[in-house]
Amino acid sequence: MPQPPVFDVLGVGFGPSNLALAIAVTEHNATARAEDVVTAHFLERQPRFGWHRGMLLEDATMQVSFLKDLVTLRNPNSSFTFLSYLHEQGRLVDFINHKNLFPLRVEFHDYFEWAAGRVDDLVSYDHDVVDVRPVTEAGETTHFDVVSRTSTGEVEVRRTRDLVLATGLRPALPDGVHASERVWHNRDFLHRVESLTDPRRLVVVGAGQSGAEVTAFLHERFPAAEVCAVFARYGYSPADDSPFANRIFDPAAVDDYFAAPEPVKRKLLDYHANTNYAVVDNDLIAELYRRVYREKVLGRQRLRLLNLSRVAELEDRADGVVVTVESLATGLREVLDADAIVYATGYREADPTALLGRLAARCARDARGRLDVGRDYRLVTDDDLSAGLYLQGGTEHTHGISSSLLSNTSVRVGEILRSVLARRASAVPPRPRYAVGASRIG
């Protein structure tokens, strides 16, 4: 079998986090001495770059400032900033005149695609990573062999000194609920909604931003349909985006959180959950309330907010769904025949060690079974594993609320790259270099 190509860094997944890392590597290499160049490659299962495409609603805006893009907080002089993108697209003056810190989500996605296109030599799309194998020399694991498979069945192997896992989040559905033609998670919303023809009733579950956005979209898109929003809260709660509360997303807040004892970590998450979880922008809350009130005035209630309620039973049929909604206050139940139900019930952190096979047992965990992660986002492993395993995501318990958000992405990738460079500088002897590519199996 031919020797697989060896990289300094190999990334699994190519969403915004590893895209930002690819940019950081590119910018480092542009000014580095030949011996300091970092070889990197990224593997992405999707056929092209995509970030929450199912929720790219036309009017939806970002919930973070455009300055928290892929690079600005790390390198404001970068040519990969959102402002550089706007300048190239001929919209910089128009954006400035707009006087808004929060771009449309579709525009920010286009910015991501623009940036991804500039580093596409570093990524292989349509490559699903199926295995990670330790490479051991004299009892020490110095590298990983990363095995990927394409949609055509080709299997390729790449070797790396450091592996960065950015496998993203997984859509969360309540226990016993399974996605189908009529039961959707909002992740797939835009891909599914086109299948609806003159629906009579639609149900949305969830009180967060996505649930409110889906409710507003359906109410406007299907003017003859009744739209029922079901959630346990009394009403939609506003996101706390005040300046002091937003400090929880500052890079310095990661240091504070990481150093804090476990009880303080839990309190910080509880105190500031309303900056991100199950909350809605004030403007959208006001718009939904305006619609509900208008319909009361007109005498036709088409937008129904079933608060203090839960979906007690769900029957998935070929021609629709039967949804039993139970009031948490009175226990009374209402049965709704609907064309579809959308669960805007959030995401769960994926277990990044699922790809590691037997290597997972060599990763340290805390008393609650969670991965032990260093400040540089490197997993703590046994002493015989000198190759690095880094996480982008799955670190909320160690690094705080911004771990899976865009807020600190540009800063985080800079810290990871610095860690990789520092560990490489301390390695003796220097590692050999190999040509970029992949070895094929079979």
Cα separation of 84 and 71, whole Å?
Answer: 11
pLDDT tens digit sequence for 178-209:
999 999 999 999 999 999 999 999 999 999 99
Task: Please state the pTM of the whole predicted model.
Answer: 0.94
Enter the CATH code of domain 6-168+350-441: 3.50.50.60
**What fold is seen in the domain 171-239+277-347?**
FAD/NAD(P)-binding domain (3.50.50)
pLDDT of res. 441 = 56
All CATH 3.50.50.60 domain ranges of the chain, comma separated, are 6-168+350-441, 171-239+277-347
pLDDT of res. 440 = 61
The contacts of residue 416 (CB under 8 Å, 6+ apart) are 21, 164, 376, 377, 378, 390, 392
Q: CA distances (Å), 248 to each of 72, 181, 241, 274, in order?
A: 18, 39, 10, 11
What is the per-residue DSSP string for 141-170? EEEEEEEEE-TT--EEEEEEEEEEE---EE
pLDDT, one tens digit for every residue, the chain (442 residues): 567 889 999 999 999 999 999 999 999 999 999 999 999 999 999 999 999 999 999 999 999 999 999 999 999 999 999 999 999 999 999 999 999 999 999 999 999 999 999 999 999 999 999 999 999 999 999 999 999 999 999 999 999 999 999 988 899 999 999 999 999 999 999 999 999 999 999 999 999 999 999 999 999 999 999 999 999 999 999 999 899 999 999 999 999 999 999 999 999 999 998 888 889 999 999 999 999 999 999 999 999 999 999 999 999 999 999 999 999 999 999 999 999 999 999 998 878 788 898 899 999 999 999 999 999 999 999 999 999 999 999 999 999 998 878 999 999 999 999 999 999 888 744 444 444 466 665 4
> Phi and psi of 332, rounded to 5°?
-65, 145
pLDDT of res. 350 = 77
Q: Which long-range contacts (CB under 8 A, 24 or more apart) does 134-142 make?
A: 134/358, 134/359, 134/385, 134/387, 135/159, 135/387, 139/384, 140/384, 140/385, 140/386, 141/359, 141/362, 141/384, 141/385, 141/386, 141/387, 142/386, 142/387
